[in-house]
A and B are shown apart, each in its own frame.
Chain A
């Protein structure tokens, strides 16, 4: 195998290797998906590299997201080539035929990591765990299976549920640029479908664990008309340092559908990620979302929420607690495209060490979106003298029958609050940690009840406690 640097000297080789990978994936998939991959590949190779001077990349160190700089290995099954991919493809296919059963082929460490991200005290309606895109565990309870809920890998779904998948795959996150095109060409992922009218009381969970040097996972979730569900999606980025992940999430909510979505991104030290998430809401659909970004040397999350149908509403919450030299960026867009839509965004971060947080959010109200009510707030707590936050909330309003408000703050801990706690005998560090916890908890309390809140609160508190070391 050639090294990344050797490949860089010969551009054609990179293209050949990408093509080989695409063909290996396409070999076991339906034709239309293969074609989709090939056209995305062409786009990935043709699309101009993003330039640092561009407004949307102005704050991001692009050199760290250089796609050509990472090996296209297979991570957990490193060294596996085309034939092996077919083999795993066959496994997936076999798995998808047996719903309601559990498959497990994971090490003890994997189990520990997995256990840490499972909700406590809440029984799941279904769980799908993928290791570098390959199904390692899958279960769905009988009630959900009987109701017609589909929770499986994307390739199987593409084969067996073409009419559900084809028109939605890449409909929101298509091959728009080099990153999204790479993902679409090389993706492996999960598919969730909740049929119209089905209301699930218990949450569904998708865990994507990645160990590869470059990973391109994808989740596609579709809720039919009037369906109701809770989804927990977890990214466990466990790649080497450095490694790069370009995960994609597409969520499609049909008329009146309602989704509670917890998206937890856990990245190991030294990993980098550019996450592209998108949700589209039809008439009267509603989305309540909590996005948590934890760890990683560089994490950039882009989230587009399109309120495309009358009366759609979205509650978007976000939490982050970068430490050390970590850098976390959230780019959100609340796209109001229909009348009487509502969105409410609240992102909060506590920064320690020499970390950097960027929030860049846009509320876009089109001319047709009358009676829009949109809110956007970003609050940053600087817990260390060397942490820094950049907040850039934007409003783009082309309709006057609206109420759009945003706010942003960056500041230290309130000395009065600190003094109060210390006067009660708490040491400074504990008082600080307690205030930071409370600061983040005010968002967590509003988040959809997924049973994960304690684990998330613990993880963020631990990140703050680790502070400058990471």
Chain B
């Protein structure tokens, strides 16, 4: 592929306007803005990918061209798909210095008590630090048990057979426009394979893997839990992650083979310039369990509906979702459960908090197909509106085509109760603290499912965000 030397305009122009700073650029291969067949071919060529992947990308690109953007949900009309760099090598990622990081983010780090080294990583100021060692030790331990944990690009090269067998089987490129886009230009993401019977006790954290590469824009993650295995994967972090990319569109596929269990925990706290449009779906085979724990705190707009397709008898799916929307934010999140096989069960618990004019939506679907006898599903959505200018919407859909299925949905929208506040204040607790306490109690069903350090940080973060919002 010939690479045209293209004019580089200031990539960070918009950030300069927004944040008052920008990154100097030192591109190596002269990346181009916008998307075309050539760009897709170039990505594949730069990665020296096998032919099947190149063709897969091109097919996906065609689907991307045909598909319309969703007309429901958040407003996506302001995304300019032709102004985005679809591929930057790690070395081409802009470097920036600690001084450039916005003060508000630094303050948050301070108040969350995040260690110095981590702060720089989180702020995207590069990071090669001790965790590299941690990662290698962990990796050795895992390798000895046959667990594969690597980035997706390496997996295409090194574990071709597994990848080819499962890649895009849960989310085909034509699934939706953004999945098609990801399929065409994906880069990075995790690949995990857990052999039969292996139970990985410690959560695998993307955090350790990606520190050297920085977080990708179009990540592609594939996790396969073989029969009877267990794995808990944790992605993201509670502290704000500063990203200069305005569009993040990942695709995550989970395959839970019979009797296995996958737990996938995401805490997303992108800076508020990011559109976070993610397609996540799992297939649960017989008696398998898939749990999505999904926390969305950051980004300008998130559209994310983790899904579980329950194809095996007695499979179980769960989505525990937490969304918090502050000023200017729109968290359009939810869950989808498709019951295909008999005696499958699912549970959705969604908690959302809107404040300062933020907007949260729960958008969900429970579908029970004919033949899924005895399927059970329960959906519970609670929304808390902190002030009068915020907004909360609930759009659940129950599509039940099986007589013996028992399906329930419940939702409430309310504010922090005066009586609750009064009670706590009568016990001598200041109003702001009382409000934070109530919010902590409100989201507890989710936080108690998180690894401890995440739960602690999340609670602190919520306290921080609730500061001065009541009273």
> Interface on A for B, CB 8 Å cutoff?
55, 367, 370, 380, 382-412
Contact = CB atoms under 8 A, between A and B. Distances in A.
B68 to A, nearest CB: 9
Given A55-B72, A395-B393, A400 B403 contact: no
Nearest to B384: A400
B390 interface: yes
Nearest to A364: B393
B82 interface: no
Given A394-B393, A395-B392, A396-B393, A410 B415 contact: no
A402 B408 contact: no
Contacts of B392: 395, 397
Contact of B409 (A389, A396, A404, A408): A408
Interface of B: 71-72, 370, 383, 385-415
B395 A409 contact: no
A408 B388 contact: no
13 contacts: A382-B402, A382-B405, A385-B370, A391-B397, A392-B397, A393-B396, A394-B394, A400-B415, A402-B415, A404-B414, A406-B394, A406-B409, A412-B405
Given A395-B392, A397-B383, A388 B401 contact: yes
A380 B71 CA distance: 30
Contacts of A383: 403
Contact of B413 (A402, A407, A412): A402
A417 to B, nearest CB: 13
Contacts of A405: 410-413
Contacts of B386: 400
A407 B403 contact: no
B393 A409 contact: no
Given A367-B389, A401-B415, A403-B414, A412 B404 contact: yes
Nearest to B416: A400
A408 B385 CA distance: 22
Q: Which of A386, A389, A403 has the most CB of B within 10 A?
A: A389
Nearest to B407: A410
Given A397-B413, A407-B410, A411-B408, 6 more contacts: A55-B72, A392-B397, A400-B415, A403-B413, A406-B410, A406-B411
Contact of A390 (B388, B399, B405, B408): B399
B411 A389 contact: no
B415 A389 contact: no
A397 B394 CA distance: 9
Contact of B411 (A382, A391, A395): A395
B398 A397 contact: no
Contacts of A409: 406-409
A429 to B, nearest CB: 15
A390 B398 contact: yes
B404 to A, nearest CB: 5
Given A392-B395, A404-B412, A407-B409, A399 B403 contact: no
A367 B394 contact: no
| B389, B393, B400: most-surrounded residue (chain A CB, <10 A) | B400
Nearest to B381: A395
B390 A400 contact: yes
Contacts of B72: 55
A384 B400 CA distance: 12
Contact of A380 (B385, B389, B400, B412): B400
Contacts of B391: 396-398
Given A395-B413, A397-B413, A407 B408 contact: yes
Contact of B396 (A55, A380, A399, A408): A408
Contact of B406 (A389, A400, A412): A412
A246 B48 CA distance: 62
Contacts of A407: 408-411
B388 A389 contact: no
B374 to A, nearest CB: 9
Nearest to B367: A390
A398 B359 CA distance: 9
Contacts of A412: 403-406
Nearest to A407: B410
